[in-house]
Amino acid sequence: MLQIEEIRKKAQTWLGKEFNEETRYEVREMLEKDEKKLIDAFYRDLEFGTGGLRGIMGAGTNRMNIYTLGMATQGLANYLIKQFGNNEIRVAIAHDCRNNSRYFAETTANIFSANGFEVYLFESLRPTPELSFAIRHYKCQSGVVITASHNPPEYNGYKAYWDDGGQVVEPHDTGIIEEVRKIKSVNAIKLNGRKDKIKIIGKETDDLFLQEVLKMSLNPEIIRKYSDTAIVYTPIHGSGIMLVPPALRLYGFKNIINIPEQDITDGRFPTVKSPNPEEPDALKMAIRRADETGAELVMATDPDADRLGLAVKNKKGEFIILNGNQTGVLLTWYILSQFRERKKYKGNEYIIKTIVTTDLLDKIAEDHNVKCYNVLTGFKFFAALIKELEGREKYIGGGEESYGYLPGDYVRDKDAVASCALAAEVMAWAKSKGRTVFELLIDIYGQYGFYKEKLINLVRKGKEGADEIKAMMKGYRDDPPKIINNSKVIRVDDYKTLTTKDLITGKTGRIELLKSDVLQFFLEDGSKISVRPSGTEPKIKFYFSVNARLDSAAEYEETVKLLDQRIEEIIKDMKLA
């Protein structure tokens, strides 16, 4: 880690004339008045993680600005030339609603075009899944979306994609980083764009994308019967406004209720504390509107419309917010059950989930004689596996606990546009069976077991926070718990060493995945605890999963209390509360 003298020296290089006056002024202020801010801005360089480049906007090597973005783009351009030569390289670029997103997207387009690339730049904000689609449709070698997903307003980010429409993975991610590190000066960035190389795309691409979304529908005749069912949708100021309502209408839903205040694209996200559909506050206005209008389903997407949050009515007629695992279970169960009912299986289908996503999906897949692959956190691993199995096995659905789902393989990243349409179809299908979405979920629990999950995020910002998170992971590895909540730890999976150890027999095995800083503890009572530092945010995540039988719907509330209590006791025993 850099010492303060080295950090100050590094910062002083940003006072040169190659940097604009706004940047020089901000660096001078930090040098003279705010050492802590200076350290956080310069103690490291932003690097590609599970979500690409992401950080707080501002001056500094550890900040999102046109220079760090420019170096990343020039490094990516140099790597693409090495991989494909410098003839007819194509890239696609999209952006969300965040402050500076259009500026960053146009800067990226200028750099790529200055390197001689053909650039497909969306005319205005668009959902991330459409960027993935555009890469594939326009036969691009790469692509970029400017977004910080559901992060707070001060963040922005840069996600790089490869020619399959998936985010970059090994060896390309490290190869790009190597090229970026070779750039020692911002003067190496080619900033003089060529307008003749930049093609603006929009509605024609939207229409092609929506046609693929429509192909995911499994019961159009049922939708027609329940097309007037009221649905409330909010994009939370983000890019979902461009495609989610059109997708719902294309499916056949006519009664789509909006929140005018949240339809306004605004990178400040003025109506919510956080533009994250995982947070209950983000759905408050939509739920209030649903109560006023008698709607049966509430849907919310994050700023770049790759994550989906749902709220449904419980037995008391009150709206409850589903967690990411519950939505994933409903969507995946629906796809698998309808494939079975319609005899669509050919025997080579599979789904994907992450290692921290509910194991209920494994059980559902097993019941339908469909493979369930577990991958590391991050949809880039979904894309890599789909690419690896292409032509031999058929991906039909899957998702992750953090509110990301992918119903088909025409896109290679999580897709809240198609997921919204499919969620509305699940609601219509449940109505056709005399059930609500909530009752359908309880039916699934009754058949396969009631799995309950909870996520705790411990935020630790800056250099001090990063050091604290590293120390926590080291402590768990050096001295792993033997008993948690009076239940023996019977197995430990360490994805950093790629080893699994049975603590009962002492036997060890190898995990056949890429290395990742993740630990999992399996308890004798069936509980599972996963610990993972975030790859894109200054936090460490604790995932808790417990389960029990649910013999009847009448026992639902009692079982909820039992499982919630077990989770809280685990949290207390691990001294996390």
Active site residues: 149
| Coil vs helix vs strand at 375 | strand
SS (H, E, C) 327-355: HHHHHHHHHHHHHHHCCCCCCCEEEEEEC
| Coil vs helix vs strand at 64 | strand
Cα separation, 148 vs 459, whole angstroms: 17
Interior/surface letters 562-576, b for 16+ CB within 10 angstroms, e for the rest: ebeebbebbbeebee
Cα separation, 116 vs 118, whole angstroms: 7
Instruction: For residue 442, report the phi and psi dihedrals to the nearest 5 degrees.
Output: -65, -35
Cα separation, 67 vs 42, whole angstroms: 13
Q: Is the peptide bond before 246 cis (omega within 30 degrees of 0)?
A: no
Cα separation, 99 vs 153, whole angstroms: 8
Q: How many residues does the chain have?
A: 577
Residue showing tokens 């699994």: 500
Strand-strand pairing, 394-400 and 349-354: parallel
Cα separation, 505 vs 491, whole angstroms: 10
CB contact at 8 A, 379 and 166: yes
Residue showing tokens 């692959």: 373
Count other C-beta atoms under 10 Å from residue 383's C-beta.
Answer: 27
CB contact at 8 A, 489 and 476: no
Region at 423 (left for phi over 0; alpha for psi -120 to 50; beta for the rest): alpha
The contacts found for 368-373 with CB under 8 angstroms, 24 or more apart, are 368/336, 368/337, 368/339, 368/340, 369/345, 370/336, 370/345, 370/396
**H-run or E-run covering 169:** none
Sign, CA torsion 370/371/377/380? negative
User: What is the distance between the terminal CA atoms of the chain, rounded to a whole angstrom?
Assistant: 31
CB contact at 8 A, 79 and 158: no
Sign, CA torsion 520/47/462/54? negative
Cα separation, 161 vs 142, whole angstroms: 5
CA-based nearest residue to 299, from 417, 453, 153: 417
Cα separation, 354 vs 352, whole angstroms: 7
